[in-house]
Amino acid sequence: MIGRLNHVAIAVPDLAAAIAQYRDALGAEVGAPQDEPDHGVTVVFINLPNTKIELLHPLGEASPIAGFLEKNPSGGIHHVCYEVEDITAARDRLTASGARVLGDGAPKIGAHGKPVLFLHPKDFNGCLIELEEV
């Protein structure tokens, strides 16, 4: 059911410093910051030959990333994103097997302009999983 690894998301306390680190120290291709108000984050994508890294920074006080950074002040891996061909079919299959979808279960439009869902980390070995329709 799952396809390619789309990205690994890393919550960062200082977005400008993280951008500089990936661009200058690691020589990576770094995209422009983009605000995602529906998700409460500012994201920056780091393009790699085989996948992407997504830097996440809180957008507003109610951001879920703000809470993550309170618990992890240095930042850290927040989630992994896998591609699926049909997000509704994937959701239905997963919920039928007992997995929990966060929120109301309806896909939202993610940073790539495509439908996404998040799966409860307690159902996947402590890892928050994002599914993105491709």
**133 bridge partner residues:** 84
Q: In the CATH scheme, what architecture does the domain 5-133 have?
A: Roll (3.10)
Annotated catalytic residues are: 130
Structure pTM? 0.95
Contact 45, 8 (CB under 8 A): no
Q: How far is the C-alpha of 17 from the C-alpha of 25, rounded, in Å?
A: 11
Q: pLDDT of 53-84, one tens digit each?
A: 999 999 988 899 999 999 999 999 999 999 99
Tokens at residue 56, please? 């996440």
**Can you give the residue ranges of every domain in the chain?**
5-133
Q: What is the pLDDT of residues 96-130, one digit of tens each?
A: 999 999 999 999 999 999 999 999 999 999 999 99
Mean per-residue pLDDT over the chain, rounded:
97
| Cβ neighbours for 23, distance < 8 A, ≥ 6 positions apart | 30
Q: Would you state the pLDDT for residue 61?
A: 85
> 3-state DSSP helix/strand/coil percent for the chain, to nearest 5?
25, 35, 40
Is residue 75 within 8 Å of residue 13, measured between CB atoms?
yes
